[in-house]
């Protein structure tokens, strides 16, 4: 399989196999007008199998969302055909607007304009808690 290199854009690498389409959907990449390549189940020495997303254009991405969905992702910024920046993601300490609090007694149920914000409580088990009511994210 041959996928052309990109001159200027972003490469999401080391995506857990099977999560590439989930990231595509959550990041709303279908709304972009630039070319996007999604490679699934690519061979990897580091991970056995992985997904890769190549975006041929510089677009803003929410790294917290990517880190929440798959904390092992590497984000590489490509400029003039070379990697100008490489970021290894991890679980974000706090996320806003990604998941919703399910507690019906939480203030976010009453005050609709409040953002749904969660903080990382237990990194080992990937447990996030609502900053308002301390409920676990599900």
Cα 131 from Cα 71, distance rounded (Å): 21
pLDDT tens digits, one per residue of 92-115: 999 998 889 999 999 998 888 899
What is the number of other CB atoms lying within 10 angstroms of the CB of residue 96? 14
Whole-angstrom Cα distance, residue 50 to residue 16? 5
pLDDT at 3 over 80: no
The pLDDT assigned to 40 comes to: 93
CA distance 71 to 111: 31
Average pLDDT over residues 9-14: 95
Tokens of 122: 């237990």
Residue 49: is its pLDDT beyond 90? yes
Distance in Å from the first CA to the final CA of the chain:
38
Give the per-residue pLDDT at 112. 84
Domain extents in the chain: 9-88, 94-130
Q: Are β-strands 9-16 and 74-79 bridged in parallel, bridged antiparallel, or unpaired?
A: antiparallel
Class of domain 9-88: alpha beta
User: Which ranges constitute the DSSP H helices of 3-106?
Assistant: 20-26, 63-69
For 118, which DSSP code?
A: E
Q: Residue 66 pLDDT > 80, yes or no? A: yes
Query: For 2-133, where are the alpha helices, taking DSSP H only?
Result: 20-26, 63-69, 107-110
Mean residue pLDDT across the chain:
92
Q: Identify whether the C-beta of residue 9 lies closer than 8 Å to the C-beta of residue 54.
A: yes
pLDDT band with cut points at 50, 70 and 90 for residue 5: confident
């Amino acid at each position: 399989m041959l996928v052309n290199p990109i001159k200027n854009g972003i490469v999401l690498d080391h995506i857990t196999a099977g999560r590439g389409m989930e990231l595509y959907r959550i990041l709303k990449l279908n709304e972009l007008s630039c070319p996007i390549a999604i490679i699934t189940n690519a061979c990897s020495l580091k991970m056995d199998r992985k997904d890769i997303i190549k975006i041929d254009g510089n677009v803003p991405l929410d790294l917290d969302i990517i880190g929440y969905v798959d904390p092992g992702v590497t984000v590489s910024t490509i400029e003039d055909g070379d990697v100008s920046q490489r970021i290894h993601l991890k679980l974000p300490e706090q996320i806003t607007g990604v998941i919703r609090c399910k507690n019906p007694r939480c203030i976010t149920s009453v005050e609709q304009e409040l953002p749904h914000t969660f903080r990382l409580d237990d990194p080992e088990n990937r447990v996030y808690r609502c900053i308002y009511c301390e409920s676990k994210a599900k």
